[in-house]
Structure 1
Amino acid sequence: MVNPAARREAAGWLGTEFGVSQRRACRVLGLHLATCRYKAKATDAEGVRDRLRELAECRPRWGYRFLHDMLHREGFIINHKRVYRLYKLEGLVLRKKRRTRVSRVRRPMEMPTHLNERWSMDFMSDQLADDRRLRTFNVVDDFSREALALEPATSIPGSRHGSCRFLNGLPPSADTRSRLSWTMAPSSRDVPSMNG
């Protein structure tokens, strides 16, 4: 006798069997009088379901909140939670939009044919026992898979990994005098401006 319908039925049985008033039967059962006297309002659930399905077919990108507003404007007095329940029962749940990617022709990556043709750089991070971060800056020659630089530190600022001073030589494209001097510069203040 947990749900209100069962308690309502028990209150009615007490009234007919023992001739007690409805108020007294509710007090004995621990049931509120308003709960006992409540009559459920008949709702046109099928009509709401049909109209909800029609609206969802017309507007497939609308969620249940927009559809609830439309039903409300059309005169259906219905709670948004009930609309959501019917929306789920009908299987009208919106698909989440996937992120659009730029479409391009995928080409296989060309493998380098000699030393210093292409370098790859990467940062790796790990945590020490005392909760400090240990970071490493790695530069690898893609042809020989030789590690040209491994710089471990707790902090790696841009000025540190921006210069190639600690690397094993320079690629052939950086042989000109101006590029060489810019590469070996101690700070990024000497970087030439791209705007002229």
Structure 2
Amino acid sequence: MLGQHRSTQRKTPRGRADDDALTADIIALAGRFGRYGYRRITALLREAGWAVNVKRVERIWRREGLKVPQKQPKKGRLWLGDGSCIRLRPERPNHVWSYDFVESRTHDGRKFRMLNVVDEFTRECLAIRINRKLNSTAVVDVLTDLFILRGVPSYVRSDNGPEFIAKAVRDWIDAVGAKTAFIEPSSPWENGYCESFNSKLRDELLDGEIFHSLAEAHVVIEAWRVHYKTARPHSSLGYRPPAPEAVQWPSNEGGSPPPNAPRVAPKPVMH
């Protein structure tokens, strides 16, 4: 009737009343956790009390131009992608632990080593031992403390480094009732859970920190480990942290699931 095309008649879009507050919290979390994407940020927002879905967070994320910087690809490493590797799969907590070494440097250029121990089923980092030098004696020392605290696992997986294949380590593991599960030489994909943890440790912490002393490295890395196991959302666990207080495995009354059963994190236990 007015001679105007209907596409010119639009209501002025109105944002939600809490858009500004939500946007501010998203930007703050993105600034604090620079290697987290919008899905993990959504999980943190929900933990903070926001009733928000991932699509809304994604819209704000893209509108604000937020993104996770791309990691530089590593050259000279060949990964097997044909699924031909058949390996022991974890079926319950304390079934398979894996451990490995990671190296970094303090500000003066001196190296230090980290021994990381991971429960493959719960994804929990059980310990990170830090020192300038770590040998087979340190491996036994760390495992002794964990076996007393957490119980003895069925298997302990590692690569074929001299610290892990030392006769003293193998004999001690056998003596306490566990079994060793060594990967094939030059096959890091067979130790995928620990390799994944190592990459997250380096990506989210080591690559962005300068340690002025070994004592500072102890404090900062242990604080990150506690955050990793109690607060950091894990996609494989339904975006919940892997700490025992958050993820509980039901009793064995119903039996263990089959080895190829999908990993579904149980509901969190309320205290």
TM-score calculated relative to the size of structure 2? 0.24
Higher relative contact order, structure no. (Cα contacts within 8 Å, ≥ 6 residues apart): 2
After TM superposition, the score normalised by the length of structure 1 is 0.33
Decide which structure has the larger Cα Rg and report it.
1
